[in-house]
Structure 1
Amino acid sequence: MIEMNKIGAAVIGTGFIGTVHVQALRRLGVEVLGVLGSSPERGTARAAEMGAARAYASLDELLADDCVDVVHVTSPNHAHYPQVKAILAAGKNVICEKPLAMTSAESAEMVDLARASGRVCAVCYNIRFYPLNQQAHGMVKADDLGDIRFVTGHYHQDWLAKPTDWNWRLETEIGGALRSVGDIGTHWIDLTSFVTGLKAKAVMAELTTFLPKRQKPLGPVQSFASGSGATEPKTIETDDAATIMIRYDGGARGVMSTSQINFGRKNSLQWDVAGSRASAAWYSETPDHLFIGHRDAPNQTLMRDFTLMNVAGTRAATLPPGHVEGFADSFFNFFRAVYSDVAAGGRQADSTWATFDDGHYEMCFCDAVLQSAREGRWVELSEVERR
């Protein structure tokens, strides 16, 4: 087994999420050999700001670095498909931000390439790695909740609630045809699928664009930051919000909503799972508490305490009880799991990080949502499956 601190990493993307990746890798003890920006000039500037040792001038230069074992893809969505293909062709392991691709046709090809490569290929669904989500996953596997009947929840934010708010995710050709669903809804779908073990069979969706006209800054804008200076009007085609009903394999039902225009909701992800024996619920803004509901006994709130948690939850926990594990910790826990498998030479039987197969499922879900919204009917995921 390779020692984790002997594994070299490089990060594509130097924005908000690329910076989060770099910080988590440093905390893990993985050497970040360099970063690749959207241009050589931006890469050089951001590498200096982030304290990265090197700014690669191009993807070819990065892939030619034999010291790089794992490449993190945090670029805009449209770049994931060609970049991951090049990374796998170069024989390197990859961690790709979500959504995995722009369409399920692209993600299907990426799954095949990942399998043929023999490399570790993960999708960055970090929210799985809040310890109490791992705990809930373990509870469902142990049948603590019984048969899953009803899955509900939302993912709401407010960072695109004003017509002057701007981000590349608003542009269809860069972010894809879906925005609130593709950007944050896929997190909810992946997380609830991970917790419950259920896959959506069919969806009925409505997409809404409340702000069809926005002001695009002529200069660069960081995620979650307001632009300034001159702007130009742009027509928006992507969804500000969505409501989706879900039919799962096995008969369970679900209802979810996504929104990036809910004032005051900064990063509000909530799921609630009702089983035949008990229920459970989790909320991202109080991540160290798991609600467990009963009919004939008092309800419970489990704090993240590894002296009280199951094996799955305990393995993901890093800090002592009462020391809240939040957003940055979820990346640390996720990367620790993935890099352990890189060191071991491949994904292990008990690994819980999202694979390219999981990423492809989310892309099929997105394609079905798009078709349902356009045609006003229930759409089976089998109708959009291209494999």
Structure 2
Amino acid sequence: MSDFAKIRAAVIGTGFIGTVHVQALRRLGVDVRGVLGSSPERGRERARAMSVARAYDSLEDLLADKSVDVVHVTTPNHAHYPQVKSILAAGKHVICEKPLAMTSAESAEMVDLAKASGKIAAVCYNIRFYPLNQQAHGMVMAGDLGDIRFVTGHYHQDWLAKPSDWNWRLESEMGGALRSVGDIGTHWVDLTSFVTGLKATSVFAELTTFLPERQKPLGPVETFTSGTGETETVHIDTDDAAMILIRYENGARAVMSTSQVNMGRKNSLQWDIAGANASAAWDSETPDHLFIGHRDAPNQTLMRDFTLMNGPGIAAATLPPGHVEGFADSFFNFFRAVYADVIAGGRQQGSTWATFEDGHYEMQFCDAVVKSASESRWVDLSEI
């Protein structure tokens, strides 16, 4: 039996991303003890579909299961704060989907609770664990790019581009004040912060809602699917898209955009990082290629290959060269790193998974974006 097989997990949330968590945990060899759905009936239905032995009736039921070591939170954003508080109070490790909370006030308290608990507390910013993002992080830390000057990029999707497209993320009471920024933009913010080692000090943002009215289905709708049947017209108060200017602590600058209404962009996260010595760029839709740009030498495209990568890149890779590592693999790589620290008894030096402190930074960023868009001015994160 592997060390991973000795750890027992439970997953809260049985939708699209909860299923991804269960599948990645099983690949790792972790014992998934049970799942908790949005209702007991839903939980039992999804447990059967995923061949999970147990469906819990409630959070209290799950937390009373002394066999569970780690709890994964994959519920809508508004549930993260109360659920994580209960999980930590029960003495269990926790992996929470992003964004960590609804506000930075909530996330600040969650940071304190995690520290006091002594338990592993991770935020699911899985995109760090595409191997070439680890490679780029290693290159920056080694000084290959030189001092970072300018960062550009986007995270664009099209799954909410029509008035008939619907998901709980559209409703601010469930997803928070920000949608495109909170749901996918925080991935970009976290990833570029991880690769560059830089934190934003101030932001200037504009938020846009192109579809102020949508047709909400009267029945349930799964993520990335369209509803059918009867609908009602509802007002939308969350952002379809955003443009954000960023100032970093070292004087570097960034320009980012987010959108969930860009036709044809299914799941496109791109970053381009310019340093004093070289530049690098990566695109989630071609994840096994890393562009490396030079002024006085030919540009390069590095393919994910164990014989060509640096230490961080090699450590994150699991498949042979030419076998593309994608979305599901990033969760496997992420969980492998977190669960190794669970086994070790705490976060180890050199670990690169996102902590609750990282999740809190992303929430400060989001709150600053809301304030900037509302007041049409630069907002320092220190104001939050």
TM-score, length-normalised on structure 2?
Answer: 0.99
| TM-superposed deviation, 1:337 | 0.3
Counterpart CA distance in 1 for 2:305 and 2:206 is: 40
Written as runs of structure 1 = structure 2, the 5 A alignment for 1:1-387 is 3-384=3-384
**C-alpha separation between the residues in 2 aligned to 1:54 and 1:152?**
45
Residue by residue over 1:10-65, the C-alpha shift from the partner in whole angstroms, topping out at 9 and shown as x without a partner, is 00000000000000000000010000000111111111111111100000010010
Question: SS at 1:79's partner residue?
Answer: helix
Cα displacement string for residues 147-179 of structure 1 (whole angstroms, at most 9, x for unaligned residues) = 000000000000000000000000010000000
Secondary structure of the residue that 1:352 maps to in structure 2? coil
- Deviation readout 1:125-151 (Å, 9 max, x if unpaired): 000000000000000000000000000
Give the 3-state SS of the residue equivalent to 2:357 in structure 1: helix
Equivalent position SS for 1:287: coil
Give the secondary-structure state (helix, strand or coil) at the position aligned to 1:34. strand
- Residue 373 of structure 1 aligns to a residue whose secondary structure is helix
Describe the SS at the equivalent of 1:204.
Answer: strand
1:315-363 deviation line (CA, Å, top 9, x unaligned): 0000011110000000000000000000110100010000000000000
Q: Deviation of residue 217 (structure 1)?
A: 0.2
Q: Per the alignment, in what secondary structure is the counterpart of residue 71 of structure 1?
A: strand
Query: What CA distance in whole angstroms lies between the structure 2 residues aligned with 1:212 and 1:258?
Result: 17
AA partner of residue 237 (structure 1): D
SS in 1 for 2:277: coil
TM-score, normalised via structure 1 length: 0.99
SS in 1 for 2:256: strand
SS in 2 for 1:192: helix
* Structure 2 residue runs without a partner (length 5+): none
Q: Secondary structure at the match of 1:361?
A: helix
The aligned amino acid for 1:222 is E
**1:260-314 residue CA offsets vs partner (Å, 9 max, x unmatched):** 0000000000000000000000000000000000000000000000111111000
Structure 1 counterpart SS, 2:193: helix
SS at match of 1:233: strand
SS at match of 1:243: strand
Separation in 2 of the partners of 1:349 and 1:37? 35
Letter in 1 for 2:109: E
Task: State the alpha-carbon separation in 2 of the partners of residues 21 and 373 from structure 1.
Answer: 34
Using the aligned pairs only, state the percent identity: 81
SS in 1 for 2:159: coil
Question: 2:343 is paired with a residue of what secondary structure?
Answer: helix
The residue type paired with residue 33 of structure 1 is: R
The whole-number CA distance in structure 2 between the counterparts of 1:82 and 1:349 is 30
Counterpart-to-counterpart distance in 1, 2:218 and 2:186: 30
Partner of 1:340, secondary structure, is helix
> Per the alignment, in what secondary structure is the counterpart of residue 273 of structure 1?
strand
* Segments of 4+ moved more than 6 angstroms: none
Which amino acid in structure 2 is aligned with residue 203 of structure 1?
V
Following superposition, the deviation at residue 73 of structure 1 comes to 0.1
The one-letter code matched in structure 2 to 1:123 is V
What is the number of residues matched between the two proteins?
A: 383
Query: Which amino acid in the other structure matches residue 67 of structure 1?
Result: S
Distance in 1, matches of 2:306 and 2:120, equals: 28
Determine helix, strand or coil for the equivalent of 1:67: coil
| Cα offsets for 1:360-386 (capped at 9, x unmatched) | 0000000000000000000000000xx
Offset of 1:3 from its aligned partner? 1.7
Name the SS for the 1:107 alignment partner: helix
Q: d(CA) in 2 for partners of 1:261 and 1:174?
A: 20
Aligned-partner Cα distance in 2 for 1:250–1:258: 24
- Cα deviations across residues 57-111 of structure 1 (Å, max 9, x unaligned)? 0000100101100000000000000000000000000000000000000000000
1:137 counterpart SS class: helix
- Alpha-carbon distance between aligned partners in 2 of 1:229 and 1:44, rounded to the nearest angstrom: 25
SS in 1 for 2:229: coil
The CA distance in 2 between the partners of 1:230 and 1:4, in whole Å, is 46
